[in-house]
Structure 1
């Protein structure tokens, strides 16, 4: 099995699929991109003669994702259309490399990672064609007004997520941006169940649950190679590991911290560390998990050392930017209490797993393969 530091990266500029000859319909009219470099389109028109645009699935800093009908393969596909800006095009080429390796080394599709079909460069937009999947776990939470998932579903989601991350780590990849938005259900189908909650008019409420627990991990545009220089800041804020905030270097364990945060969110309904500021973030960590180890504080870089007093204690609440910030931290519970409030079954095994994933010291954090051997997954009863 090849990995990222033995395999030669393909010359993506030359290897993309060429647009298929026109079968039905013509190419769309030439238009200028919008001011942010996004591809401008209309529903129902073609994206090259091969693909008919059916719907817009999502949008992010990278570009837009469209649902299209592939006339040649006769199937629905998702196409990520990257903004026509150099840095996003560069990131897209890395993502294509990662996707190709993940797909090539997973012949039976059992590793729960998005599968690439092909890619092409169209009007200065890199277009990545992948399988069409369902909504993200975040979208599902939002649809349910942020009601938590049942613990049995969380177990299945967690098992698959850990299997996909273990697979990536075996290939020497670090995802660096794990979050519910980047975990998609394979199927959009769901069922409605009556909820115990009623609205203000005493009407019965309903919650949705997916028909299948199958998920896939997506968005490899921020994936890091083990042997490359690592950016100082990675991960979306709420899922960012303490070693990243402290500037003491990061590696594979940062993905496991993110998984711990995700599992709490799926059980709790809201992000565990809902913050946008470093000091408050660290204070939230201490509120939930206890004091940050002194040896990590002493290693903090110059930017992070200002968050501590005499290099041993977090400057909280003295350094808080507002009373609202102090209140937000004060509302949080210890991890074991938070889980016991929201999970009726498997409390002790789930809590133990989460403490293993959310250890401050990266070297002491569970690896993905170690986590898969945890009793939470082995003894679900």
Structure 2
């Protein structure tokens, strides 16, 4: 077991939580500075107390609480992602460390959650080490120039995230920031269908939620959060529903501006002329049933039935009343996910493909031939 000497604590509701970090952890001052030069970072390295040496190769992203960098771990010769929380975020680091302690109860691969390795401290900064994944769904959509995904392509993503939400609910954790940027592809080459949920910086124990929690990003925030009501884990289902619509439209469905009035107006009415800050107009939509108008060219009865199943699931995810919003376990049994509404010749695709390369999957089903409808979503992603 590692030796811990650094300790800090925070007080909340008369409860003292102590978080321990390994001793002798070093981190480059360049990472701490807000004005980070990625060209300089590529030439630097850091060392942790257990003699692990990290060579920082590039900055992967920047957020409210810090930065994420790609590192080459020389001790094991593997690449990892390192989240560096800048000074002043001690309470956030403590909360996130507490969440990851809970997440250790879950299998990260089976439950589609990023694998957490360790955390350590340097000066006023706290570092979290994770497995290195591929690009986010947001970046993936940007690379394909915002071309919408079909409902067949969205299905495996929806299924995996519902598994993740079911697992989080089982340990009493709410992610609180489900959005395309926080869902990453694992590896586009070896596992093109596999995704994982990341960034638990805004996560919370569901039992600790209060009506004063400001959670979720604009455009993915549940109505009860805007109304100042006490949220629960159902906010994650709302965020996932918005994410699936983002993939379906190739753009944000709900307004991403910070105008609460416009957001609530759109949620309540879902009709009339509304244009968000990106110029997206949905004046032709009077309800979620009208999502079918977005793909008027569908003539095949099977594809049309699949679209209607997708819309039905979305309607259950985006129920304004959180008490009536569908639960993750129930959503996993929805016909859109189970594919029970599809013809037998269209159900050769199974979720086993998520953990296999295409080559390995084809070997596994060597006695079968993929149909054209099954090949189509694979071809589109490639």
Task: Classify 1:335/1:108 alpha carbon distance in 2 versus 1 (closer, same or farther; 3 Å).
Answer: closer
Offset at 1:101?
Answer: 2.0
Contact 2:151 2:307 in 1 (8 A): no
What is aligned with 1:294? none
The normalised TM-score by structure 1 is 0.74
Runs of at least 4 residues off by over 4 Å? 27-33, 36-41, 322-329
How many residues align? The count is 313
Instruction: Mark the runs of 5 or more structure 2 residues left unpaired by the alignment.
Output: 1-14, 343-382
Q: Does 2:49 align with 1:46?
A: no
The one-character-per-residue Cα deviations of 1:174-210 (angstroms, maximum 9, x if unpaired) are 11111000000101439xxxxxxxxxxxxxxxxxxxx
Task: Classify 1:18/1:50 alpha carbon distance in 2 versus 1 (closer, same or farther; 3 Å).
Answer: farther
2:80 aligns with one of 59, 64, 77 = 77
What is aligned with 1:174? 174
What is aligned with 1:11? 18
Task: Classify 1:186/1:19 alpha carbon distance in 2 versus 1 (closer, same or farther; 3 Å).
Answer: farther
What is aligned with 1:239? 220
What is aligned with 1:216? 196
Contact 1:81 1:127 in 2 (8 A): yes
The one-character-per-residue Cα deviations of 1:279-313 (angstroms, maximum 9, x if unpaired) are 1111211343x7xxxxxxxxxxxxxxxxxxxxxxx
Offset at 1:327?
Answer: 9.0
Offset at 1:105?
Answer: 1.4
The one-character-per-residue Cα deviations of 1:310-356 (angstroms, maximum 9, x if unpaired) are xxxxxx99xx9x99999956365532222442384211111111111
What is aligned with 1:334? 287
Q: Does 2:250 align with 1:269?
A: yes
Contact 2:246 2:252 in 1 (8 A): yes
Task: Classify 1:330/1:324 alpha carbon distance in 2 versus 1 (closer, same or farther; 3 Å).
Answer: farther
Offset at 1:39?
Answer: 9.8
Q: Does 2:258 align with 1:253?
A: no
Q: Does 2:127 align with 1:127?
A: yes
The structure, 1 or 2, with the larger RCO (C-alpha pairs under 8 Å, 6+ apart) is 1
Task: Classify 1:16/1:269 alpha carbon distance in 2 versus 1 (closer, same or farther; 3 Å).
Answer: same
| CA RMSD, 1 decimal | 3.0
Instruction: Mark the runs of 5 or more structure 1 residues left unpaired by the alignment.
Output: 1-7, 21-26, 191-210, 291-315
What is aligned with 2:316? 356
Partners of 1:274 and 1:250 lie apart in 2 by 21
Trace 1:191-202 onto structure 2 (pairs within 5 A).
Answer: none
Partners of 1:113 and 1:186 lie apart in 2 by 10
Contact 1:267 1:339 in 2 (8 A): no
